[in-house]
Amino acid sequence: MNLLKPFLFLILIFCIQPLFGQLYKPTQAETGPGGKDYQHLNIEIVAEYGKKAGGFWMYLPSNPKPDSANIVVFVPGFGVQNPVVYGGWIKHLVGHGNVVIFPRYQQKLFRPFPGKYVNNTVSGIQSALEHLQKETTISPRLDNVAYTGHSYGGKIAAYLAVKYREYDLPKPKAFLATQPGLPKPKAAQLKSYSELDDDIKVLVIIGAKDKIVGDDLGLLIFNTAGVRQKNLIIQSVDERYAGIIEADHAGPCSIDMQFNEMKRRNYITRAAFKRSQTDAADYYCYWKLLDAIMDCAFYNENCQFAFGNTYEQTYMGVWSDGHSAEPLRVHKKPIYPEKSDRKNRKIGKLD
């Protein structure tokens, strides 16, 4: 029996390790950018216009319903016609009083062709704003607009942040690109982002383990953006116990079934369901940085959470054993492969 005790102990450790791994992950902050101090408890969903490409879904804060609200244009990644993939992030944004517009630029995975993505996105945004102004009691604060996008959506959002006047869209005061998509296909692609209005605040996030799109477009946007205030953020992997804070292409995904608008799932949506987890990467990277850049751009508040390579900006929470999670890595000036932060990176030209 004594000989069995060490083996029983090891079996016990291996069985309970995953449980403790989940419990030990950093938790969401109570207040501040990325925090859970939500002022609106319910969401009003406008879903009937999202059935076709060129349409939109829109999410309005409720309980209480505000008289006016800031606008977040949230452009999804390629193949992600279903908002469920980003549901947790959308719920977070709406809980803090923002109206979220989720344009649909694809009908199906390979229809239409990429050349129509921009016009479909613009149509969705314009229709959503018209609906908001005519059919709801919430007045849109068109002087407080943020554009954000993931993957190919980051590419489209970056294009529209430069070209917003040509498409009669509201000017973004804040722009956040998360793992912006590949330079090819050429639709929505610019050779340079130097024509961004210099007062637009810009953040670009690259996942250190993103093997889907790498860092080509993220570096191009950041290096050439003609703005006064911009940072490049590298989110790194952090592993402790059985828990993992990932830094791959699915990082911004946060499944929430309240936002499930489609019965069928394509292979990209199915992959997102398998790889998505809502954790410190969401709370302290994607959610925090978008909250912070909007606060900074709209109200000149919480800028230390958005820019400057500060403690507040790079902080990724604390594991329950007291160890700090791997901080975000920040670059304030243009960065080129030979000068890059290579630690914990295995992607693109920065190898």
The number of distinct structural domains making up the chain is 1
**Is residue 347 scored above 50 in pLDDT?**
no
Quickly list H helices, the chain: 4-23, 87-95, 117-135, 152-163, 216-224, 267-275, 280-281, 287-299, 311-314
Q: What are the tens digits of pLDDT across the range 50-63?
A: 999 999 999 999 99
| Distances from the Cα of 313 to the Cα of 24, 37, 246, 316, angstroms | 22, 19, 18, 9
1, part of any domain: no
Q: What are the tens digits of pLDDT across the range 19-52?
A: 444 447 899 999 999 999 999 999 999 999 999 9
**Is residue 84 scored above 60 in pLDDT?**
yes
6, part of any domain: no
104, part of any domain: yes
Structure tokens at 3: 């000989």
Nearest to 96 by CA among 174, 31, 172: 31
Domain extent for 39: 23-350
Q: What are the tens digits of pLDDT across the range 162-179?
A: 999 999 999 999 999 999
Q: What is the CATH number of the domain that holds 62?
A: 3.40.50.1820
Average pLDDT over residues 97-106: 97
226, part of any domain: yes
Q: What are the tens digits of pLDDT across the range 180-211?
A: 998 788 899 999 999 999 999 999 999 999 99
Residue 294: pLDDT band with limits 50, 70, 90: very high
17, part of any domain: no
Structure tokens at 22: 């989940």
> Which among 1-10, 95-104, 319-328 has the top mean pLDDT?
95-104
Burial 270-287 (b: 16+ CB within 10 A, else e): ebbeeebbbbbbbbbbbb
